[in-house]
Each structure stands twice: as structure tokens, then as C-alpha cells.
Copies of this chain bind each other. A is one copy, B any other.
């Protein structure tokens, strides 16, 4: 049964001091006599006092809260990004609000609106849809520091932090060309062009393998399985499959093996992202690992820079920046 609400007023009364003194004691922002301070702290503890951050934020006109919008937490890559962001922000004294769009742009918009209504210091958004999320990113940018993460939308004036997908494909192409039998067919199993990452990876692939076959679905295990079955039904043998994401690659492997096809003997499968389970696959998946830690650190820097910006909009260039991080090849096979 929750306590009756206890405010700083109650603490002050209990300690026999003024509100200001109680506030100063609790936030430790001003020097004061040790005797009073400890008396206030004792009262606070006794009354089970907990600061009301709403009141504080309203008064201070700022609070250390960052909102993160992700497309879908069932996708392990996004779950991992969220976990890393959570750690990074917490360590730096920022609270992280998370909203999962569950694949819906409407839900995404609603989540971001809620962030802004809650006066978050910054919005970090992994956009659901390259086209349809643009409005949401635009809107967020008009209200708070907004950072696009991993996926970019068209023409929004918000800084982007993500990995260099083209370069990642360069690494994969190089790996294939230096290790695979040249006769082997190379097939791209990607996702529809609803996100910049899907598009860039596809384009990167096409640049290296012009005319090669491409199959597009969604970033999901299910699509990988479906694609595998399609390939089997068509009688495809012995190909190198380049997946646009580890989750698709794992689906491919699962789908191939369930039909008795050997990986990597019959089919070779290569992933992208570097999620945990990829390393544990049998054999370990060859993939391109995104430098998630570096990207999170970069976002923190941006948030901090804006935080220190006492004259907002003056010194810091709020223009669009693009911060690309280099992924690294992780050879499994």
C-alpha cells in the first residue's frame, strides 16, 4: 500500500527548516552547516522521501533524459543496441526512455511525441521507414536535439550516426572473392528498401556483383527461412548467400539445414551486424560487425555537447552531420 505522498515540504517541516534549506541539503548544491544537513537527511530517510523529478524538471527547464525509439525489440540487433544505449546513458547520468514501434510508423510517431511532451533532452531514433518516418524525425528535430541512429530518413535535418554499410559490403565482397570458388553463384538475401540500411547494403552488393540475383524480404528469421525454402524449391545448389543481416542469415541456415543441406559445404552464408548469436552459430557465422560501442559513445558525445550548450543554437552547428563508423569483418568459417 503506497505511502501518502511525501514532499520536500514535509521533510522541511519534520527537520524544522525552510524549504530552501531542505532543497539545498538534498541536492547538495550549496554549502551549509553539517548539523542542519544531516538533520534534513535524517528526516528525509525517516519519511521515505523521494524527490519528485517532475517538479524539478519543470522548475529547471531541463532534465537528463534521452528518448530512444526502436523499430522492433524482437529483432536482436535492435535489442542489443537498446541494451548498449541503456548502459552508456546510465553511466553518464542520463536516463533512457525506450519506445518500441513494433514496426508501425504510427506507433513510432506516438512514441516520439510522448518523448517530446515529456521534455526529453534528446531523441535518438532508429527510423522504421525511410520515407514514412521522415515526418516524425522532422518534427522531433523541431522540438529537441534529434539523432538518427543506424537508419536514416530522407532529407531530415538531424545528425546521423551509423555504420558505413557500403564499406561493410566492400569487406564482404573482398572476402568472397578471395576465398570462394569463382564458379559459385552469389545471391543477396536482403530486405525491402524501407530502410536506409537495407538499401545501402543492397546497393553495396550490386556494385560488387552487378547482375547477381537479389531476393528481398524483411529483417527477420522467418524471411531467411522462407528464402531458403524458395532456393531449395528452385533446385539451387552450391551458392554463396549474402544476407543483409545476421538474423536473416541465421534463418537461411536454419531453413537450409532443415532440408538436409549442409552449411557451409553446400551453401555458404554470410551475415551483417555482428549480433551475439551469430558468433555461436555452428560454424560461427562470417559477418561484418558494427562498432556498436563506438556509435553509442558518439551519440553520448552529441547529447553532452548539446547539454553544455548554455546558449542553444549559438556555438554548436545544429546542421545535419553524418557520422559513419567502420564495421569489421569477423570470419567464422
Interface residue A258 (Cβ < 8 Å from any Cβ of B): yes
Select A282's contact among B52, B55, B257, B313, beta carbons within 8 Å. B257
The answer to whether A86 and B74 touch (CB under 8 A), given A58-B58, A276-B221, is no
CB interface residues, A 226-260, toward B, < 8 Å: 250-251, 254-255, 257-258
Interface residue A300 (Cβ < 8 Å from any Cβ of B): no
A95 to B73, Cβ gap below 8 A? no
B52 to A54, Cβ gap below 8 A? no
Most buried by B among A95, A144, A255, A257: A95
B53 to A118, Cβ gap below 8 A? yes
A82 to B73, Cβ gap below 8 A? yes
Nearest-Cβ distance from residue A182 to partner chain B, whole angstroms: 29
Chain B residues whose CB sits within 8 angstroms of the CB of A86 once the complex forms: 73, 99-100, 102
CB interface residues, A 254-302, toward B, < 8 Å: 254-255, 257-258, 276-277, 280-283
Interface residue A50 (Cβ < 8 Å from any Cβ of B): yes
B50 to A54, Cβ gap below 8 A? no
CB interface residues, A 29-82, toward B, < 8 Å: 48, 50-55, 57-58, 61, 72-74, 76, 79-80, 82
Interface residue A318 (Cβ < 8 Å from any Cβ of B): yes
B102 to A83, Cβ gap below 8 A? yes
Select A117's contact among B52, B79, B102, B312, beta carbons within 8 Å. B52
Interface residue A127 (Cβ < 8 Å from any Cβ of B): no
B282 to A254, Cβ gap below 8 A? yes
Chain B residues whose CB sits within 8 angstroms of the CB of A313 once the complex forms: 1-2
Interface residue A311 (Cβ < 8 Å from any Cβ of B): no
Interface residue A96 (Cβ < 8 Å from any Cβ of B): yes
B100 to A83, Cβ gap below 8 A? yes
CB interface residues, A 120-154, toward B, < 8 Å: 141-145
Interface residue A174 (Cβ < 8 Å from any Cβ of B): no
Nearest-Cβ distance from residue A209 to partner chain B, whole angstroms: 28
Interface residue A98 (Cβ < 8 Å from any Cβ of B): yes
The answer to whether A50 and B99 touch (CB under 8 A), given A143-B2, A280-B254, is no
Chain B residues whose CB sits within 8 angstroms of the CB of A225 once the complex forms: 280
A282–B225 Cα distance when bound, in Å, is 10
Nearest-Cβ distance from residue A295 to partner chain B, whole angstroms: 17
A313–B2 Cα distance when bound, in Å, is 8
Chain B residues whose CB sits within 8 angstroms of the CB of A257 once the complex forms: 282
A307–B5 Cα distance when bound, in Å, is 16
B100 to A280, Cβ gap below 8 A? no
A/B interface sample: 22 pairs, CB < 8 A:
A1-B318, A2-B141, A48-B142, A50-B116, A52-B119, A53-B118, A54-B54, A55-B58, A72-B83, A73-B73, A73-B80, A73-B82, A74-B83, A76-B76, A83-B100, A86-B99, A86-B102, A90-B110, A225-B280, A250-B277, A254-B280, A258-B283
What are the 8 A-B residue pairs with the smallest beta carbon separation, nearest first?
A258-B282, A98-B98, A79-B79, A53-B117, A73-B83, A1-B318, A86-B100, A257-B282
